[in-house]
Structure 1
Amino acid sequence: MESGQRTEVVTVVRHVPVGQVVTERDLGEASVALDPVLTAVKAADRGDVVGKRAAVELTPGSLLSQGQVTADSLVKAGEQVVPLGLKPEQVPASSLAPGQRVQIVRVPGEDQQDSQTQAEPISAHVVKVGDPTPGTGASVVDVAAAKAEAPLLASWASTGNIRLLIDGGS
């Protein structure tokens, strides 16, 4: 009976990766017959989501809900961002996404013996994944690690002798 009632809601018109700030240009509006179970942002509340960060990947053509945006930063207090320049063989083939939990391990270099004592892995989470470099496939992955471990991680990254592991459930 209520299927003829239409509601003006906010839609996504441009791809917005996780963690990116949502702008006016990313959003549109549509008039839809809205099921009461859905929690789409009403067009009148559009200003409430502009300037927030995408908590999930936002895809064009979808309705926007409040749970898909956040005012929180991906980098928490007590963390530092460390850029990791990684070759394709240093990262699992699975896609990385902002917010994903990872472990970074130090591995022996070509001039080091396999029996060398290895440090414990460093826990972090992905903040941003750069585009692969044409020709080499290398990319920069920004990770947030505990402030106490970030300098060590940066040191490891400078040698190129690291591997990135994806935590289960990420």
Structure 2
Amino acid sequence: MSKTKERTAAPPAHAVPLQAQAAGPVAPPRVSARRRRPGVIALSLALIAAGGAGVAVLLLQVGDRTDVVTVVRDVQVGQVLTEQDLGKASVALDPAVKAVRADKMESVVGKRAAVELKPGSLLSPSHVTKDSLVKAGEQLVPIGLKPEQVPATALVPGQRVQLVHVPAQGAADPGKESDKAGPQSIAGRVVKASKAAPGTGVVVVDVATTADDGPTVAAWVSADALRLVLDSPENN
């Protein structure tokens, strides 16, 4: 081989092999910074502020508690309240709920329960009365009502009723003038109504009547010749 061919085939001294060129450092790609939108930032700050305000209001509501009077044992309608019947509790009270404040407990001690009170309930001003449920000159007559005789409307203390005499068929003389005028009735006032007795469903209603009418009503009850009729709200 000639010297001329040897010089031609020999690579130049400054030449870089292809493997070296491929293994060289690679520049990282440029990442453009995300643009911040002022509107999104402002909205985020507003939501954070609103959330913080909501938490603050919730904490204030939880912390705003009121000392109120509670019932600690069963109290029947008409029973005089004592300090042993009542207790105190600190609760977050809704403005719509009317309850006797703890510092006013002495004002309800000695009054009568206008409704049946159960342990654990809050005492409302409407739950007590200074008046006796059976007033002077009245008598209390218990009346047992069968399930079909109990009104669908709940019987509550103070409700006005009519006690109607309904004698058994054939017991009354149709020739009497009083029968032509309609059945006899006596006005009364509900003092208390029991729950339906298990098995029989009978409800016992304590009704206050005048002392003159009490014996008559008791006789009607004994003869199973009495029905209870509710007066309209305008008459109560």
With normalisation by structure 2, the TM-score equals 0.57
Q: Secondary structure at the match of 2:218?
A: helix
For residue 134 of structure 1, what is the aligned residue in structure 2? 198
For residue 144 of structure 1, what is the aligned residue in structure 2? 208
Q: Where in structure 2 are there 5+ consecutive unaligned residues?
A: 1-56
Q: Distance in 1 between matches of 2:163 and 2:183?
A: 10
**Stretch moving more, 139-148 or 100-109:** 139-148
CA gap 1:5/1:141 in 2 versus in 1, 3 angstroms: closer
1:107 to partner: Cα distance? 1.0
Q: Distance in 2 between matches of 1:23 and 1:111?
A: 52
Q: Distance in 1 between matches of 2:94 and 2:198?
A: 46
Q: Secondary structure at the match of 2:132?
A: coil
Q: Distance in 1 between matches of 2:82 and 2:168?
A: 44
Report sequence identity in percent: 58
Q: Secondary structure at the match of 1:152?
A: helix
Q: Distance in 2 between matches of 1:66 and 1:113?
A: 48
Aligned partner (choices 148, 167, 183) of residue 89 of structure 1? 148
1:88-141 deviation per Cα after TM superposition (whole angstroms, max 9, x unaligned): 223323221222111010113144369571543100011222343333222322
1:17-43 deviation per Cα after TM superposition (whole angstroms, max 9, x unaligned): 643433445433233567899864332
**Stretch moving more, 148-157 or 158-167:** 148-157
For residue 162 of structure 1, what is the aligned residue in structure 2? 226
**Stretch moving more, 25-34 or 42-51:** 25-34
Q: Distance in 1 between matches of 2:163 and 2:184?
A: 9
Q: Distance in 2 between matches of 1:17 and 1:56?
A: 7
Q: Distance in 2 between matches of 1:165 and 1:86?
A: 11
Letter in 2 for 1:155: A
1:10 to partner: Cα distance? 1.5
For residue 29 of structure 1, what is the aligned residue in structure 2? 88
With normalisation by structure 1, the TM-score equals 0.75
1:60 to partner: Cα distance? 6.0
Give the length in aligned residue pairs: 170
More helix per residue? 2
Alignment of 1:1-170 (within 5 A): 6-12=65-71, 16=75, 18-24=77-83, 26-32=85-91, 40-56=99-115, 58=117, 63-112=122-171, 115=174, 117=179, 118-169=182-233, 170=236
CA gap 1:17/1:99 in 2 versus in 1, 3 angstroms: farther
The alignment's C-alpha RMSD in Å is 3.2
Q: Distance in 1 between matches of 2:197 and 2:93?
A: 44
Q: Secondary structure at the match of 2:222?
A: helix
CA gap 1:141/1:39 in 2 versus in 1, 3 angstroms: closer
**Stretch moving more, 18-27 or 33-42:** 33-42
**Stretch moving more, 16-25 or 82-91:** 16-25
Q: Distance in 1 between matches of 2:173 and 2:155?
A: 28
